[in-house]
Structure 1
């Protein structure tokens, strides 16, 4: 029998403009779910009696409330796992807050709703009173700590490792459907296909090689995998961060530079060439000379994501963002800057194509 598995919700595919080259599509596929480096990710736990789902009671015509509130012991497991990812030295900071309106990641513990998470920046699509992550079983049970590490991996932008096109796994499809249709998952065929059998595009994969030891890999019993032969008896990852997991997250979120070296200033009406390679990022600071509405935008033939943060209590807090990936238009943000405050502009390049330089400017 299969174990309990993470069930991601299927998202609609991004609508790219027609005629994109394979290079542009590839760069967008791999990077669009990732946060810009230097982001401070805030998470909170649902903790009120009113934080609950209303679900129908079969055969009664009535409904009941199912709480999203977890025990302090379960919350501690999640905190420890956030700390383990953070402890790798990644360039994204992870901070717990008590106010859900300040949190990009909002975590519930609804039993029976499965364990799942929004992937990377998909969390920004959820309403402030909605979960972006759920744990549907007891994380304090033996062997379940890996579930928290796995869901946090999704929150950082990682996808399921067994769906990597580099895995070379040949499944007994009907055996997989039958196994996951039963307890404890009770998945539909669509859910099983989306979370297990569907192959990712090469540019979506976490890496260019398959890592069967990844924390993003499911454990499978015997009888589901036909090839490679050594996995016919099952696949049994340890539920810990593998060396490849650590390499992936540090590649996307490299450690920040010394605090004594501030980012260069972005001065109003003065453009700054970017000179980035695909996947690279440039950071700037804006200290507005007057309080007014400003526009921050990129120029040139490029796909970029631009995010603006406002410094509050010494910490950059998300203010606005724009992703122009796959469109003919450049990323442009309009926001009110206040004199005496500091703002941070982060630009990550997906791809560039034309002969001219790409640049960023504030005006």
Structure 2
């Protein structure tokens, strides 16, 4: 279901869909790894997650993804409800494009009539669940791991831009979702983790050293560690 892009020389490769776009209205041992925005951390307590999906299979996969995160967020509890009224509002509205989520408490800035997260329907349950895990990570305040300032990815920047702009993604969006490195004291930055669910997959051809990253489908130990740190119980 990933779009296919074309580079010079008629080389085709799959690209992950860009995400984390809210509506216009609004590697060693067990080292902890990851990237999160602490200013968008939810306060300790109960978060209501409203699920408005068109089939029970998709809903079950989303609930399972939420449960996997919930095992690692000691300070948070999640109350899952049907419908469109919640702190986090998940939709698969076919009129909305791509997978995306508001980052953490940015969800509070989204009008109550609109979802804070969108998941495109997929027949592939494994990929759909992985997308749900990724987007719910954003909903908890986690950022893209391939944009971790400590990453060792040797991007072929021209190839990244050419691949995505050929699929009609604006260059500014490609930069913000792939290449931009966030900075600031508000960031919780830990060791780069290529196994993170928050990491895009990409082919060898978009790197200068021919080292791509495959699709991750479950939380890594680094994902679990950083979210436990972000949502540790108050002392």
Does the alignment reach a TM-score above 0.5?
A: yes
Of the candidates 175, 185, 191, which is equivalent to residue 193 of structure 1?
A: 175
Which residue number in structure 2 is paired with residue 39 of structure 1?
Answer: 45
* Higher relative strand content: 1
> What is the CA–CA distance in structure 1 between the aligned matches of 2:100 and 2:178, rounded to whole Å?
14
Of the candidates 220, 224, 227, which is equivalent to residue 202 of structure 2?
A: 220
How large is the Cα RMSD of the aligned pairs?
Answer: 2.4
CA contact (8 A) 1:74 1:140 kept: no
Of the candidates 192, 214, 217, which is equivalent to residue 236 of structure 1?
A: 214
* Higher relative helix content: 2
Alignment of 1:53-72 (within 5 A): 69-72=53-56
The Cα shift of 1:203 comes to 4.1
TM-score by length of 2: 0.80
Structure 2 residue ranges without an equivalent (≥5): 1-12, 24-35
Instruction: Kindly provide the CA deviation profile for residues 139-171 of structure 1, in whole angstroms up to 9, marking residues without a partner as x.
Output: 644433211100010000000000111103232
CA contact (8 A) 2:16 2:200 kept: no
The Cα shift of 1:4 comes to 2.9
Considering Cα pairs closer than 8 Å and 6+ residues apart, tell me whether 1 or 2 has the greater RCO: 2
> What is the CA–CA distance in structure 1 between the aligned matches of 2:226 and 2:117, rounded to whole Å?
21
> What is the CA–CA distance in structure 2 between the aligned matches of 1:206 and 1:78, rounded to whole Å?
26
Instruction: Kindly provide the CA deviation profile for residues 32-59 of structure 1, in whole angstroms up to 9, marking residues without a partner as x.
Output: 11112x221111123xxxxxxxxxxxxx
Alignment of 1:180-329 (within 5 A): 180-183=164-167, 186-201=168-183, 203=185, 205-226=187-208, 229=209, 232-255=210-233, 281=234
The Cα shift of 1:87 comes to 2.2
TM-score by length of 1: 0.53
Structure 1 residue ranges without an equivalent (≥5): 12-28, 47-68, 256-280, 283-363
Alignment of 1:134-153 (within 5 A): 134-138=118-122, 140-153=124-137
The Cα shift of 1:92 comes to 0.6
> What is the CA–CA distance in structure 2 between the aligned matches of 1:75 and 1:10, rounded to whole Å?
21
> What is the CA–CA distance in structure 1 between the aligned matches of 2:175 and 2:73, rounded to whole Å?
35
Which residue number in structure 2 is paired with residue 313 of structure 1?
Answer: none
Question: Structure 1 residues 194 and 3, CA, compared in 2 at 3 Å: closer, same or farther?
Answer: same
> What is the CA–CA distance in structure 2 between the aligned matches of 1:153 and 1:137, rounded to whole Å?
18
